[in-house]
């Protein structure tokens, strides 16, 4: 690994961890807003208000001045349908399940991502990446096992679990598509087209009846969009710098945000298993860039 590769790896990991933090804060806003308004309304708001940071980013990078013409409208449409459906399913899970449980189901995404990246992108899965994925999954299992034991399987819970599983599969598929797109499409364009797809997918749900939100819920809807837009740009930029399979292990850091949300919002403190699992997850999340930097120094 040369100096340039090591720098790209570190930047890719930083951007992916940043995007996960922003998405975790967005999930908290979604969870709270969905208590008052339908999920379709939340998804539409996510797509609409995310355009603010996305357009600002496009202006900063010069993409706004160049326009948004693309030679690959088909792949944007495909990504929008798959990624939009994944996000919709994820929002249903956040609305129907405890935040920790919904986050736990999302931990299947890295495993699906690694598999699809090897299948579609021909990425080489190293022993280190595989080991760190297993370590992170082991930590996640320690944390979520008690939560799943006490989940009451009501109708809404079953729907939430199914949507969480489907969303994890579709998210992994969408991630590999984004990786392919970054070779030819600007990050700002990818993100803006995705937000437009979200609005088009969710807007018809207005026919089922939307609610007039309170001032507090309106703030949550706006925040969800802003955080989601910023997170999407960071995620796309991360995929442009580092392989999808290497970044997959970072997804486990979302669990730390879920634990924090449980403590702050619901006054639920982590158990000893949660602490042990979190340590394993953090270890997995930081191991790959650390080992990559060490390998670079050894080769100098």
User: In the chain, how many domains are there?
Assistant: 1
Nearest CA to 233 out of 60, 112, 110, 103 is that of 60
**Token pair of 127 as six digits:** 């022993």
Token pair of 214 as six digits: 């309170």
pLDDT recorded at residue 117: 73
Q: Are 107 and 44 in contact (CB under 8 A)?
A: no
Please give the chain's pLDDT, 300 residues, in tens.
566 777 777 888 899 899 999 999 999 999 999 999 999 999 999 999 999 999 998 888 787 777 677 778 888 999 999 999 999 999 999 988 878 778 878 877 777 777 777 777 676 777 877 787 788 778 877 877 766 666 555 777 788 888 988 998 899 888 888 878 877 888 788 888 899 999 998 989 888 889 999 999 999 999 999 999 999 888 878 877 887 667 777 877 887 888 888 788 777 777 787 778 878 877 776 675 555 555 545 555
Q: Residue 252: what pLDDT? A: 75
99-106 and 127-149 helices cross at what angle (nearest 10)? 150
Rg (CA), the chain: 19
Range of the domain at 162: 3-299
The per-residue pLDDT for 152 is: 55
> Distance (Å, rounded) from C-alpha 16 to C-alpha 118?
19
CB within 8 Å of 300: residues ≥ 6 apart = none
pLDDT of residue 113: 76
The 3-class SS string of the chain reads CCHHHHHHHHHHHHHHHHHHHHHHHHHHHHHHHCCCCCHHHHHHHHHHHCHHHHHHHHHHHCHHHHCCCCCCHHHHHHHHHHHHHHHHHHHHHHHHCCHHHHHHHHCHHHHHHHHHHHHHCCCCCCHHHHHHHHHHHHHHHHHHHHHHHCCCCCHHHHHHHHHHHHHHHHHHHHHHHHHHHCCCCCHHHHHHHHHHHHHHHHHHHHHHCCCCCCHHHHHHHHHHHHHHHHHHHHHHHHHHHCCHHHHHHHHHHHHHHHHHHHHHHHCCCCCHHHHHHHHHHHHHHHHHHHHHHHHHHHHC
Q: What is the pTM of this model?
A: 0.78
State the pLDDT at residue 74. Answer: 87
Longest dimension (CA), the chain: 63
* Tokens at 83, concatenated: 């990624």
Residue with tokens 């580092």: 242
> 51-61 and 187-202 helices cross at what angle (nearest 10)?
160
pLDDT, position 82 = 94
Residues 6+ apart with CB under 8 A from 60: none
- Cα(76)–Cα(198) distance, rounded to whole angstroms? 12
What pLDDT was estimated at residue 207?
86
Query: What distances in angstroms separate CA 112 from CA 86, 159, 173, 197, 244, one per listed residue?
Result: 13, 21, 8, 23, 11
> What are φ and ψ of residue 209, in 5° steps?
105, 115
| Alpha-carbon distances, residue 211 vs 46, 201, 205, 206, 248 (angstroms) | 16, 18, 12, 9, 37
């Amino acid at each position: 690994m040369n100096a340039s590769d090591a720098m790209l790896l570190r930047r890719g990991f930083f951007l992916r961890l940043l995007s996960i933090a922003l998405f975790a804060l967005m999930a908290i806003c979604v969870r709270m807003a969905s208590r008052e308004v339908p999920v379709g309304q939340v998804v539409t708001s996510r797509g609409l208000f995310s355009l603010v940071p996305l357009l600002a980013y496009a202006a900063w990078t010069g993409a706004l001045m160049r326009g948004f013409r693309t030679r690959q409208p088909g792949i944007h449409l495909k990504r929008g349908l798959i990624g939009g459906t994944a996000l919709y399913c994820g929002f249903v899970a956040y609305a129907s399940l405890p935040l920790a449980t919904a986050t736990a189901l999302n931990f299947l995404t890295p495993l699906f991502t690694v598999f699809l990246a090897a299948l579609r992108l021909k990425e080489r899965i190293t022993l280190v990446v595989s080991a760190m994925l297993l370590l992170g999954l082991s930590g996640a299992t320690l944390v979520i096992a008690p939560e799943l034991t006490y989940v009451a399987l009501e109708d809404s819970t079953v729907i939430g679990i199914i949507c969480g599983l489907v969303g994890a599969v579709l998210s992994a598929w969408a991630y590999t598509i984004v990786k392919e797109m970054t070779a030819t499409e600007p990050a700002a364009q990818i993100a803006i087209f995705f937000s437009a797809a979200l609005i088009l997918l969710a807007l018809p749900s207005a026919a089922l009846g939307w609610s007039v939100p309170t001032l507090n819920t309106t703030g949550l809807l706006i925040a969800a969009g802003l955080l989601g837009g910023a997170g999407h740009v960071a995620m796309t930029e991360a995929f442009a710098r580092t392989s999808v399979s290497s970044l997959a292990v970072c997804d486990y850091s979302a669990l730390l945000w879920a634990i924090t949300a449980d403590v702050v919002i619901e006054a639920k403190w982590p158990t000893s298993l949660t602490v042990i699992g979190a340590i394993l997850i953090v270890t997995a999340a930081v191991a790959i860039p650390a080992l990559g930097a060490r390998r670079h120094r050894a080769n100098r």
